[in-house]
């Protein structure tokens, strides 16, 4: 063990995140949806509190996916790739966490964007 500076710790954490982005297809999907949601926030000029909710929802999904990946790797490391019902249950439970975070982000996205998009569509139709 050695003492790390804050910058070194940050670099190691960033390396962990990059690993997940490179190796997990779902993480790439979450990032694309996250970037789309932030762009939509800017385009629709949502209120600051709504923007905060969107950013928190995105962060929650990314954190859940990162934890899911770490847990899957840990299980594979400990148990190998042999089938085991307990491994299945544990992997399904952490995947459930990602699902909850994603469903939360979806609902918040609907609540924030839907009224504005409908309003935008209505004003375009009346042109
Ligand atoms: N060793 C195993 N024994 C039993 N079932 C497994 C095992 N490994 C994976 N599974 C099953 O396959 C599913 C996908 O696991 P995998 O490790 O392939 O994750 P993945 O392809 O990255 O999927 P995701 O990240 O979307 O959950 C698990 O949720 C589990 O149901």
The answer on whether 50 is annotated among ligand-binding residues is no
pLDDT for the residue numbered 2: 66
Give yes or no for residue 90 CB within 6 A of ligand 1.
no
CA dist 30 and 94 (Å) reads 16
Query: Could you tell me if the CB of 95 is within 6 A of ligand 1?
Result: yes
Whole-model pTM: value is: 0.91
Closest ligand 1 atom to Cα of 72? 17
Containing 24, the helix (H) or strand (E) segment is: none
Residue 11 among known ligand-binding residues? no
Residue 96 covered by a domain? yes
Count: domains in the chain? 1
Per the CB < 8 A criterion, the answer to whether 73 and 87 are in contact is: no
* Burial environment of residue 44 by CB neighbours within 10 A (0 to 12, 13 to 18, 19 or more): middle
User: Which structural domain range is residue 19 located in?
Assistant: 6-125
* CB hemisphere CA count around 23 (13 angstroms): 13
In angstroms, rounded to a whole number, what is the distance separating the alpha carbons of residues 103 and 98?
Answer: 9
50 an active-site residue? no
Q: Is residue 1 part of a domain?
A: no
**CATH at 16:** 1.10.287.3610
- pLDDT, tens digit, 9 for 90 and up, residues 43-70: 999 999 999 999 999 999 999 999 999 9
């Amino acid at each position: 063990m050695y003492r790390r500076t804050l910058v070194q710790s940050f670099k190691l954490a960033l390396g962990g995140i990059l690993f997940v982005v490179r190796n997990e297809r779902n993480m790439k999907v979450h990032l694309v949806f996250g970037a789309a949601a932030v762009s939509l926030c800017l385009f629709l000029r949502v209120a600051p509190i709504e923007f905060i909710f969107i950013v928190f929802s995105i962060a929650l999904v990314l954190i859940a996916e990162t934890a899911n990946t770490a847990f899957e790797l840990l299980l594979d490391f400990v148990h190998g790739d042999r089938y085991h019902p307990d491994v299945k249950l544990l992997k399904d439970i952490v995947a459930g966490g990602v699902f909850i975070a994603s469903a939360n982000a979806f609902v918040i996205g609907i609540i924030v964007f839907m009224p504005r998009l409908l309003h935008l569509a209505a004003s375009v139709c009346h042109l």
